[in-house]
Amino acid sequence: MSTAKPEIIDAAAQLPVAYMRRLDPIPERSLYVARPGLRAMPSGSLIMAGCFMLQLWTLSFLLWAMWWPTPQTPRLLAFAIGGTVTIALLVLLVALLLMRRFPGFVLGVARAPFIRLTVTDRRVVWSLPWHRHPLMEIGRERILGGILGAVDGKGRGNAAMILIHGDPAADVDGNIHFDHLPQVEQFVAALAR
């Protein structure tokens, strides 16, 4: 049985196609980078913070009523300490219930001001400064473009990123919505193909 010998081409031979090294990376260009900060908080966060502040005010009034004037007898001191511990345990219980029942919402609200949005020529990336890996990444092949919404005098406004039909990251309309982005016109321009 005869075996075929491979043809070995001389290194000096002229190849019909241009030579290109696949190991030389093409650098990724950043087209838009933004960290919206506190304005990236979900809508309704201010109302929730107001309700939270009212609860804190009520709790501070209860603690003030227990500790002022300073308890003079051991029975009053035991009542003040017991009441303070009970209130602290109830606050901790409510916080734990919220974190157990809605962990994604609580985590999302907590890290929303720190998320950095980057649009490059290859992808759109949501990242946090203390994570090595991005929170979410969408390749340019999944993006059709962007829509500009209302813009204020400082260039901050709303926009939507249009994704291909059936993309799992999109909402029912096939978009991802952004509120209060700085330099929102540059963001929409960076999404254009």
Q: Calculate helix-pair angle for 103-111, 74-101, nearest 10 degrees.
A: 90
φ/ψ of residue 31, rounded to 5: -100, -25
- Amino acid, res. 156: R
pLDDT of residue 23: 62
**Is the distance from CB of 175 to CB of 161 less than 8 angstroms?**
yes
pLDDT of residue 51: 87
Segment among 63-72, 87-96, 102-111 with least mean pLDDT: 102-111
pTM summary value:
0.63
Q: How far is CA 90 from CA 87, 105, 112, in A?
A: 5, 21, 27
Instruction: Verify cis geometry, omega within 30 degrees of 0, for the bond prior to 6.
Output: no
pLDDT of residue 14: 63
Segment among 38-47, 77-86, 113-122, 174-183 with least mean pLDDT: 38-47
pLDDT of residue 19: 53
Look at residues 190, 183, 25, 177 and name the one whose alpha carbon lies nearest to residue 121: 190
CA torsion, ordered 42, 48, 52, 54, to nearest 10 deg: 150
Look at residues 117, 168, 163, 119 and name the one whose alpha carbon lies nearest to residue 141: 163
pLDDT tens track for 119-162: 999 999 999 988 889 989 999 999 999 999 988 888 888 999 99
Distance between CA 82 and CA 92 in Å, rounded?
A: 15
pLDDT tens track for 5-18: 766 666 666 655 55
Average pLDDT, integer, range 107-123: 87
φ/ψ of residue 19, rounded to 5: -80, 135
Q: Which is more confident, 161 or 43?
A: 161
φ/ψ of residue 137, rounded to 5: -145, 130
